[in-house]
Amino acid sequence: MTPTLKLGLIGDNIAASRSPRLHQLLGQQNGIDVTYDRLVPRQMGKTWDEILAALPADGYRGTNVTYPYKEKAAAVVRIDDPLVAGMGAVNTVIFEADGPRGFNTDHSGFMAAYRTLRPTTAPGVVAMIGTGGVGRAVAFGLAGLEAAELRLVDKDPARAEALAEALRAAAPGMAVTCFADAAAAAAGAQGVINCTPVGMVGYEGTPVPRAALAGAEWAFDAVYTPEHTQFLADARAAGLAVLSGWELFFWQGVHAWALFSGKPVDEDALRKTLRAEEAAA
């Protein structure tokens, strides 16, 4: 009998997510029949925490968590890694006999993605817009990559300052400053990052004026649906090396699969199949 693995994704605005297909393909690589359900609270008529609480009894091994529930999830699961606890954001939950355990593969996934773009070059001075769940993970990833300085921008200044305080405690070697304006934060920065939902399907636009990208070296957009956002188009036009949210999607998924299943990944084969299917769609 073929082994089975039941997984999910809790989030809003996830109809276009490619995560179900990624995990189904990884199941095929390992001879496992994977189901991966999109779990949207407003469509199900339940709160996100009601959905999370019901999953173990419904046979789920684990679930991914995405916008806007990552910080909420961190408050209700057991987190063993002090670094993830410091982030205060969880994107992967595993259901164990003694309760749900939380992990963050956005953090490790961002670091892996960055190294595909700039394998031997540190991030330098970085302006990051958005300090929610994915922003917190990326910020800790930048600390792990030894960024010299991180400039934080958020429409909620208190949220940005809370992240700044957590980073100063966890990564004293990285200077952290909060800015009120994206253009001001980007001035003189080597890297510019979007960790807001601006640019994704349903949230069109860009969080950074195109003129503010002049002089920067690289840009990353956490949005991956669509992959080619206005922010990244502007960055390319300004001559920056760009890293799309697709790479974060890919690597966080690979790392989540390891937690869900403990099984290996043929990364090249997975990438080729996903890209071929997207091109044919």
- Do 260 and 240 reside in the same domain of the chain? no
Count the domains in the chain.
2
- Do 67 and 100 reside in the same domain of the chain? yes
Please give the positions annotated as active site.
Answer: 69
The enclosing domain of 126 has a CATH number of 3.40.50.720
- Do 184 and 151 reside in the same domain of the chain? yes
- Do 121 and 136 reside in the same domain of the chain? yes
Strand, coil or helix: 242? strand
- Do 119 and 228 reside in the same domain of the chain? yes
- Do 121 and 208 reside in the same domain of the chain? yes
- Do 91 and 153 reside in the same domain of the chain? no
- Do 113 and 97 reside in the same domain of the chain? no
**What are the C-alpha distances in Å from 252 to residues 19, 88, 154, 220, 228?**
10, 17, 24, 15, 19
Instruction: Give the list of residues 6+ apart from residue 183 with CB closer than 8 angstroms, or none.
Output: 208, 209, 211, 212
Residue 226's CB is within 10 A of a number of other CB atoms, namely 16
Dump the DSSP string for 188-223. Answer: T-SEEEE-SSTTSTTS-S-SS-GGGGTT--EEEE--
Distance of alpha carbon 257 from alpha carbon 179, whole angstroms: 36
Domain assignment of residue 20, given as a range: 4-104+247-280
**What are the C-alpha distances in Å from 228 to residues 27, 29, 48, 70, 223?**
28, 28, 29, 24, 9
Structure-token pair, residue 273: 């199949």
| Residues 139, 204, 167: CA angle, nearest 5 degrees | 10
**Residue 160: enclosing H or E segment and its boundaries?**
helix 157-170
Structure-token pair, residue 167: 């980073």
Given this model, what pLDDT does residue 225 score? 82
Q: Which residues of the chain have pLDDT under 50?
A: none
- Do 99 and 170 reside in the same domain of the chain? no
Strand partners, 64: 9, 92
Given this model, what pLDDT does residue 251 score? 98
DSSP state of 251: H
Give the tens place of pLDDT for each residue, 27-74.
999 999 999 999 999 999 999 999 999 999 999 999 999 989 999 999
- Do 74 and 181 reside in the same domain of the chain? no
Distance of alpha carbon 56 from alpha carbon 163, whole angstroms: 31
Whether the CB-CB separation of 189 and 126 falls below 8 Å is answered with: yes
Given this model, what pLDDT does residue 201 score? 80
Given this model, what pLDDT does residue 82 score? 87
Strand, coil or helix: 257? helix
- What is this structure's pTM? 0.93
- Do 148 and 30 reside in the same domain of the chain? no
One-letter-per-residue 3-state SS of 107-146: HHHHHHHHHHHCCCCCCCEEEEECCCHHHHHHHHHHHHCC
The enclosing domain of 62 has a CATH number of 3.40.50.10860
Given this model, what pLDDT does residue 217 score? 98
Nearest to 131 by CA among 68, 83, 77, 73: 68
- Do 240 and 257 reside in the same domain of the chain? no
Instruction: Give the list of residues 6+ apart from residue 2 with CB closer than 8 angstroms, or none.
Output: 31, 32, 33
